[in-house]
């Protein structure tokens, strides 16, 4: 068995980094008011801005507070024993540190951050360097009554890292970035990954062994292994590689009352799977410290291509056939008419290139069709064979082939969306997403109901919008729907405007029998819908588990369970 270990735990350089103050600690962190690296921008072309202005109306550009102006609540002192447990360099109390852990990255989070007025911020940030340090901190917090919010990459879009006190005197953000172990078992094709590794860090470590995890959510650049597990994340290639939870073979959770660790066997029939209980627990049961995942060789060939389906219903039938005939590409994403139109306008394809595409589509009577992006990854011959088989299903369903260029363009820009959102917010527009899933039988009605609810709610707010959707994460029995909506913001009432639309969309999802979340998780925003999702007894069962693992109730109060 060949095995490679890389441990940064207890590494003196890592301890020095933890002591080195704001600049070093902030290096590699997201910009505090938006997404990603502050040096990167995704400027919108003139055509895109003109389209927004004509369809949504002229918006009042949004101001952004400077970091020095941000108002945060006064921190409360935390028990000294916490600093003793992790070492003084691993407790941060500076204002910038607290601002950076005060919110996730949903639209309301960004509105609050940009406004410069934060009602909530953690009292301190604690950076444990090992599962043993996590255990000590949780034990102290339980004893002393301090709420603990596990913090991975802080990319939650459902209020998962909101520093709620839950009635306790203090709240700390437990930043897990120092849990960075990598342990590859080549023979079994599994790897144990520390919870604090970000997507690219985990992929780099695996690539050094010629391996990949294949988990590429749009938040890949910043989200962490622990966060993926805690939220049951689904990546863009989930149809081929599987959702993150499907990649996990074993998991370790440190709870205030002790450690749960599952065996490294591929499967076990020894009762209900504890692994499943930990996956998706969103920090409410304890801290996931490391996860053993299935990995595979880096693909020899990657191939992306696009088609234009006649309409969304026909496109959904094509994806269903692909799934049910066992020829599903590793990546499959069907945009509805609105998303197709807006993506083409935002893509920057202009002039001769755009005219060429329009002419080609007119010829095939697809001028108002729906874009289907597919991707295959793996061994060269297998990729080519699967591509050909899927092509037959796509053509039989009436899709016109657009070739590789639009597929490659999607691949190149797959992590651009959140940067574009920052630009939209600067211009004064609201841009938000939400997702759900249903069986194939229920998907059409769910699509109609959610789209109508978002559209009607935006119009009732006096800010009619564009509502777009794509279908992805396809299964034999159903798929996920991912909605994006844009509208003018209501200056000064952005949060009320967002709440109204979100409530309308959630009510429509529940009414249509969809799940309240396919992969973003529950957090604070979806907690009120958990009773409907799992039923009263289901909720009591989850509460009983929490009470057993976290009797003081300090773990991530107000999240997951209403």
The minimum distance between CB 314 and ligand FAD, in angstroms, equals: 25
Instruction: State the minimum distance, in angstroms, from the CB of residue 367 to ligand FAD.
Output: 30
Do residues 90 and 128 lie in contact, with contact meaning Cβ atoms separated by under 8 Å?
yes
- Asked if 487 is part of the footprint of ligand FAD (rule: CB under 6 A), the reply reads no
Return the closest-CA partner of residue 202 out of 220, 185, 188, 175.
220
- Contact residue for ligand FAD among 228, 312, 483, 529 (CB under 6 A): 228
Which residue number has the CB closest to ligand FAD? 227
Q: Which of residues 12-41 bind ligand FAD (CB under 6 A)?
A: 35
What is the SS3 assignment for 505? helix
CA angle 529, 532, 536 (to 5 degrees): 110
Choice from 130, 192, 233, 347 touching ligand FAD (CB under 6 A): 233
Instruction: Map residues 303-342 to x or -, x wherever contact with ligand FAD holds by CB under 6 A.
Output: ----------------------------------------
Instruction: Pick between residue 136 and residue 519 the one whose CB is nearest to ligand FAD.
Output: 519
* DSSP helix/strand/coil, 192: strand
Interaction of residue 428 with ligand FAD, rule CB under 6 A: no
Check binding of 436 to ligand FAD (CB under 6 A): no
Work out which of 30, 121, 223, 237 binds ligand FAD, going by CB under 6 A. Answer: 223
Alpha-carbon distances, residue 153 vs 329, 372, 444 (angstroms): 29, 30, 34
Which is nearer to ligand FAD, 152 or 514 (by Cβ)?
152
- 3-class DSSP state of 213: coil
262 binds ligand FAD (CB under 6 A): no
Structure tokens at 132: 């043993």
Residue 214 vs 226, nearer CB to ligand FAD: 226
Considering only 128, 131, 150, 214, the residue that binds ligand FAD (CB under 6 A) is 150
Residue 262's nearest CA partner among 245, 280, 278 is: 278
Inter-residue contact 26 to 395 (CB < 8 Å): no
List 30, 56, 118, 149, residue binding ligand FAD (CB under 6 A): 149
Q: What is the token pair recorded at 376?
A: 């295959």
Separation of alpha carbons 165 and 554, rounded Å: 9
In angstroms, the CA 37 to CA 200 distance is: 14
| Segment interacting with ligand FAD, rule: CB under 6 A, options 75-83, 122-130, 205-213, 215-223 | 215-223
Between vectors from CA 216 to CA 214 and to CA 220, what angle results, nearest 5°?
130
Site for ligand FAD in 519-548 (CB under 6 A): 519-521, 523
Crossing angle of helices 494-511 and 440-460, in 10° steps, is 150
Note whether 215 binds ligand FAD by CB under 6 A. no
68 DSSP assignment: G
DSSP strands (E only) in 393-531: 400-403, 429-439, 466-472, 478-488
For residues 276-295, which are near ligand FAD according to CB under 6 A? 282-283, 287-288
- Answer for which of 130, 212, 219, 497 binds ligand FAD (CB under 6 A) is 219
| Interacting positions 160-189 with ligand FAD (CB under 6 A) | 160-161, 176
Q: Which residues bind ligand FAD (CB under 6 A)?
A: 35, 104-105, 149-157, 160-161, 176, 195, 217-219, 223-224, 226-228, 230-231, 233-234, 282-283, 287-288, 418, 519-521, 523, 556, 559
């Amino acid at each position: 068995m060949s095995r490679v270990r890389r441990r940064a735990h207890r590494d003196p350089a890592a301890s020095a980094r933890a002591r080195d103050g704001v600049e070093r600690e902030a290096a590699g962190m997201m910009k505090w008011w938006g997404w990603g690296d502050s040096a990167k921008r995704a400027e919108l072309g003139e055509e895109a801005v003109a389209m927004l202005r004509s369809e949504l109306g002229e918006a009042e550009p949004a101001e952004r507070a400077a970091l020095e102006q941000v108002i945060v609540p006064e921190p409360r002192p935390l028990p000294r024993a916490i600093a003793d447990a992790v070492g003084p360099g691993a407790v941060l109390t500076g204002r910038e540190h607290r601002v950076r852990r005060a919110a996730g990255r949903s639209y309301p989070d960004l509105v609050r951050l940009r406004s410069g007025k934060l009602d909530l911020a953690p009292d301190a940030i604690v950076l444990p360097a090992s599962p043993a340090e996590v255990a000590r901190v949780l034990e102290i917090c339980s004893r002393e009554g301090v709420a603990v919010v596990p913090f991975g990459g802080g990319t939650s879009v459902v209020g998962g890292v909101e520093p709620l006190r839950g009635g306790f005197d203090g709240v700390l953000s437990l930043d897990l970035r120092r849990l960075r172990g990598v342990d590859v078992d080549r023979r079994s094709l599994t790897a144990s990954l520390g919870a604090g590794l970000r997507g690219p860090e985990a992929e780099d470590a695996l690539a050094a062994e010629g391996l990949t995890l294949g988990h590429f959510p749009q938040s890949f650049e910043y989200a962490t292994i622990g966060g993926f597990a805690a939220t049951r994340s689904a990546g863009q290639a989930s149809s081929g590689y599987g959702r993150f939870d499907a990649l996990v073979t074993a998991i370790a959770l440190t709870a205030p009352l002790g450690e749960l660790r599952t065996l490294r066997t591929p499967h076990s029939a020894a009762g209900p799977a504890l692994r499943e209980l930990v996956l998706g627990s969103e920090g409410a049961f304890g801290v996931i410290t490391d996860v053993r995942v299935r990995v595979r060789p880096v693909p020899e060939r990657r191939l992306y291509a696009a088609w234009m389906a006649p309409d969304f219903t026909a496109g959904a039938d094509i994806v269903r056939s692909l799934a049910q005939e066992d020829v599903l590409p590793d990546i499959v994403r069907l945009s509805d008419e609105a998303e197709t139109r807006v993506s083409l306008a935002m893509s920057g394809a202009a002039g001769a290139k755009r005219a060429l595409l329009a002419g080609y589509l007119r010829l095939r009577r697809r001028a108002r069709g729906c874009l289907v992006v597919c991707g295959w990854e793996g061994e060269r011959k297998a990729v080519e064979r699967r591509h050909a088989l899927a092509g037959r299903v796509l053509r039989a369903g009436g899709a016109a082939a657009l070739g590789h260029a639009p597929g490659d363009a999607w691949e190149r820009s797959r992590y651009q969306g959140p940067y574009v959102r920052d630009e939209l917010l600067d211009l004064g527009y609201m841009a938000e997403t939400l997702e759900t899933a249903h069986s194939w039988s229920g998907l059409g009605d769910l699509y109609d109901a959610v789209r109508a609810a978002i559209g009607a709610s935006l119009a009732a707010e006096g800010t009619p919008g564009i509502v777009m959707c794509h279908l992805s994460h396809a299964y034999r029995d159903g798929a996920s729907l991912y909605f994006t909506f844009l509208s003018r913001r209501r200056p000064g009432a952005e949060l009320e405007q967002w709440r109204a639309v979100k409530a309308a969309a959630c009510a429509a999802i529940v009414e249509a029998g969809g799940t309240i979340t396919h992969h973003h998780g529950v957090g604070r925003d979806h907690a009120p819908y958990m009773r409907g999702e799992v039923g009263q007894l289901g909720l009591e069962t989850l509460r009983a588990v929490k009470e057993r693992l976290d009797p003081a109730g300090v773990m991530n109060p107000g999240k997951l369970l209403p």
